[in-house]
Amino acid sequence: MQSRTKVDVDRPVLDLLVREVLGTDAPVTRVRELTDGMFNAAYGVDLGDGTAVVVKVAPPPGTPVLTYERDLMRAEVDFYRRAAGVVPAPAVLGVDLTRSRVDRDVLVMEHLCGTPLESVRRDLPAAEAATVQRELGAAVARLRAVTGTRFGYDRPDGSLSAATWSGALRAMVEALVVDADHYRVRLSGRARGLPDLVTAAADVLDAAVPVPVLTHFDLWEGNVFVAPGADGAPHLEAVVDGERAFWGDPLAELVSTSLFRDPAQATDFLAGYAAEAGEPLDLGTDAQLRLTLYRAYLCLIMTVEGAPRGYGPEGQAGVAFARRRLAAELRTLHRVLG
């Protein structure tokens, strides 16, 4: 998708990055742009020794980004390293965050064998689709074991983190409101008041989430890869694009896994989660309030990000959807919180 943040890297620079960041003498034999992502420039690269890798290159300095998107590749690298051995994810093969070879952060990682669930879901038999969803639910349950010391986004200046989940979430939402002003994105009065709604729900948030848990927060079907297993059927191969990850509430994963439906209808996902966790996921009244807040947060991101990224018609359609969904979530929050 079109985005100002996806700035191309020319072939000589890409060859240099692969050679030095990966530490190989094997020549690059083939390069193809990977166009599905919306933030980093990404390339599938084949080497002369038969190795296939993915090279992701962050936007150059000075590129307009949202506050939480600063140093975003560092967050992705951190997610993969912390999630390794807990959930299936591509292996990190090389990283350069020094910006000494090129003025941008660089990540080289394993090239997966499978395909995004989004591209094959409609063709999967019901039983195979159910298996993948159970495996994804189990992966989310396992991720609860990865805990941190502060809530929110792990950024160098600490501005988007706090000692409590409600404090971090309020800071995260407030930053988006400031971003909207900076990029001249029109927000309704209710949308601008979302930080206060987070504060109104602080007791619920902090009681439910006493420990910061590594939360991917972008597990839509494009970021879930499937590949044939030993039985020939598709299975969960990996989750990718962990750059939006934060330390918070694992319940928030249901926002992206069930964006277009009631999470309670995701029976296979919930069954996989319960089997792995040893208990069902609580979807009671307080959980519904938390989910509504997280959906509103995601929709606010989607509403504001189109301005700095300069989305074309396809992206603007997504922004329009996000605005409608944000308004609906805010109506619910005002009904519940007053």
Are residues 83 and 124 both part of a single domain? no
- Is 5 contained in some domain? no
Q: Pick the range with the lowest mean pLDDT from 67-76, 306-315, 318-327.
A: 306-315
Are residues 274 and 308 both part of a single domain? yes
pLDDT value for 214? 97
Are residues 160 and 85 both part of a single domain? no
The percent of the chain in helix, strand and coil, each rounded to the nearest 5, is 50, 15, 35
pLDDT value for 100? 87
Are residues 100 and 120 both part of a single domain? no
The answer to whether 301 and 185 are in contact (CB under 8 A) is no
Burial 69-97 (b: 16+ CB within 10 A, else e): bebbbbbbbbbbebbeeebbbbebbbbbe
Reduced to 3 states, what is the DSSP secondary structure of residue 54? strand
Amino acid, single-letter form, for residue 249: D
Segments of the chain assigned E as strands: 28-33, 41-47, 52-57, 92-96, 106-110, 115-116, 151-152, 161-162, 213-215, 224-228, 234-239, 246-248
pLDDT value for 225? 96
In this structure, what token pair is assigned to residue 157?
């200046």
Q: Return the CATH number at 287.
A: 3.90.1200.10
User: What is the Cβ-side half-sphere exposure of residue 143, based on CA atoms within 13 angstroms?
Assistant: 33
DSSP annotation of 41: E
Structural domain tally of the chain?
2
Work out the percent of the chain whose per-residue pLDDT is above 90: 78
The answer to whether 154 and 78 are in contact (CB under 8 A) is yes
The whole-number average pLDDT for the span 2-25 is 88
In this structure, what token pair is assigned to residue 29?
């034999």
Residue 226: domain span: 115-337
Are residues 72 and 203 both part of a single domain? no
DSSP letters for 145-201: T-B-SSEE---TT-TTEESSHHHHHHHHHHHHHHHHHHTT----HHHHTHHHHHHHT
Are residues 79 and 130 both part of a single domain? no
Amino acid, single-letter form, for residue 281: L
Are residues 155 and 213 both part of a single domain? yes
Q: Return the residue matching tokens 């989310």.
A: 140
Chain centroid to Cα 259, Å, comes to 13
Q: Pick the range with the lowest mean pLDDT from 12-16, 134-138, 248-252, 276-280.
A: 12-16
Residue 121 has pLDDT above 90, yes or no: no
Q: Return the CATH number at 106.
A: 3.30.200.20
Where among 76, 94, 110 does a domain terminate?
110
For the chain, report the end-to-end CA distance as a whole number of angstroms. 39
The answer to whether 253 and 290 are in contact (CB under 8 A) is no
Q: What CA–CA distances, in Å, run from 269 to 138, 147, 172, 256, 336? A: 8, 22, 28, 12, 27
Alpha-carbon distance of 140 to 219, in angstroms, equals 10
- Is 275 contained in some domain? yes
pLDDT value for 244? 92
Are residues 36 and 99 both part of a single domain? yes
The whole-number average pLDDT for the span 302-314 is 86
Where among 110, 143, 161 does a domain terminate?
110
Q: What SS3 string covers 217-248?
A: CCCCHHHEEEEECCCCCEEEEEECCHHHCEEE
Alpha-carbon distance of 178 to 189, in angstroms, equals 14
Residue 147 has pLDDT above 70, yes or no: yes
The answer to whether 274 and 280 are in contact (CB under 8 A) is yes
Residue 315 has pLDDT above 80, yes or no: no
In this structure, what token pair is assigned to residue 23?
């530490």
pLDDT value for 261? 79
Work out the percent of the chain whose per-residue pLDDT is above 70: 99
Where among 75, 110, 145 does a domain terminate?
110
Residue whose C-alpha is closest to residue 41's, from 60, 62, 24, 26:
60
Query: pLDDT tens across 181-203, in order?
Result: 999 999 999 999 999 999 999 99
Position 155 confidence tier, pLDDT thresholds 50, 70, 90: confident
The whole-number average pLDDT for the span 157-171 is 95
